[in-house]
Amino acid sequence: MKITNRQKMQIKRSVSVLCSCMMLFLLTGCGQSRYDMAYTVNSDVSSLRLVNIEEKNLNAEPFASDLCVVSSDISIPGIDTSKADGAGLFDVNGRNTLYAKNVYEKLYPASLTKIMTALVALKYGSMDTTLTASANVRNLESGAQTCGLKEGDQMTLDQALHVLLINSANDAAIMIAEGIAGSVEAFADMMNQEALEVGATNSHFVNPHGLSDNDHYTTVYDMYLITNAAIQYDRFNEIIHMKEYQTVYYDKSGNAKDLSVNSTNYYLQGNADAPSGITVLGGKTGTTNAAGHCLVLVSRDTSGNPYISVIMRAESREDLYDEMSSLLSGINK
């Protein structure tokens, strides 16, 4: 019987969970106490969870010693995210969740997906690798954001990542996926494996750009985990901080083509203001009809401490930035 890609991913997840269970048991130093792992890839809470069966303690809690964790909604007086389906504010260095609303609800990520695309590319790709666009870069739904790539066009992975993260170009996402993995499907498998490795177990990806698909989803908390992994790469931090980008790439005949793109982030554009004392370093926007308006930001306070904030499925762009600014004000409270 032929094993499908999805079945292969399920096997990989099962093996990864088993290894995690064995390692966690060895590291806890629990003597003869018996612990059982109440965890599946379909669990409501991302990361690993322990339940002490012998003591009948059935309250499962997230297990992530070096990460922000949360098991229920957390509010801050004066913070309003009523026009978004999910929101979270995470103190990266303090490993503390400051605000949480529906952080484990599965939602469509739209172009927030491209943070995972960049993470996989940074981990497995080489920035000076030359990528060549296939005909698939034109095979996108009507109205999708693109940078105008055509079959045979060439640019480096570094150039493609700039266009991907700054301007949210969906054709660049296709070029990156095919250049690294050979196909969109194979790259999606890499994305799902990487999600598993960072603990984002309530996510599933089927493409590198985030255009709508019923089987393509994530959560607010998983976007924190994915972004937290991405900011470990200096190149990611440099790119998301850029307001604009100019470069030159080449068509299939070797002719030079100029490209200039601007950030889709209103904070970087100067069209939205962060609260006093908060500096927005950058982030990623995402918008589709199914996903609504989404935004992940990396910010810092006056002491230089970093924070990751997430808003998903806001009703409008205006609501998205109003509620994100409200959320960021929680850093100083």
- DSSP per-residue string spanning 227-259: HHHHTTSHHHHHHHT-SEEEEEEE-TT--EEEE
Q: Output the domain CATH number for residue 277.
A: 3.40.710.10
Q: Which of 46, 168, 203, 309 is catalytic?
A: 168
Asked about 183 being catalytic, the answer comes back as no
Report how far residue 71's alpha carbon sits from residue 43's, in angstroms, rounded to the nearest whole number. 12
R_g of the chain, CA atoms, integer Å = 20
Phi, psi of 324 (to 5 degrees): -65, -40
Asked about 168 being catalytic, the answer comes back as yes
118 with 262, same domain: the answer is yes
- Torsional sign, CA 61, 63, 65, 67: negative
What is the predicted pLDDT for the residue at 333?
85
Amino acid at 44: D
Asked about 2 being catalytic, the answer comes back as no
17 with 117, same domain: the answer is no
Q: Which of 46, 47, 111, 326 is catalytic?
A: 111
Q: Which of 211, 172, 205 is nearest to 289 (CA)?
A: 211
Q: Which of 41, 207, 228, 16 is nearest to 119 (CA)?
A: 228
57 with 192, same domain: the answer is no
303 with 327, same domain: the answer is yes
130 with 276, same domain: the answer is yes
Residue-wise pLDDT tens for the chain (333 aa)? 444 444 444 444 444 444 444 333 333 333 333 333 333 455 677 754 433 334 444 444 444 668 898 989 999 999 999 999 999 999 999 999 999 999 999 999 999 999 999 999 999 999 999 999 999 999 998 889 999 999 999 999 999 999 999 999 999 999 999 999 999 999 999 999 999 999 999 999 999 999 989 999 999 999 999 999 999 999 999 999 999 999 999 999 999 999 999 999 999 999 999 999 999 999 999 999 999 999 999 999 999 999 999 999 999 999 999 999 999 999 998
Report how far residue 254's alpha carbon sits from residue 291's, in angstroms, rounded to the nearest whole number. 39
Q: Which of 114, 284, 309, 325 is catalytic?
A: 114
What is the predicted pLDDT for the residue at 261?
97
Report how far residue 220's alpha carbon sits from residue 52's, in angstroms, rounded to the nearest whole number. 28
What is the predicted pLDDT for the residue at 12?
47
Structural domain that includes position 134: 68-333
Indicate the number of domains in the chain. 2
85 with 19, same domain: the answer is no
102 with 234, same domain: the answer is yes
Domain boundary among 34, 63, 92: 63
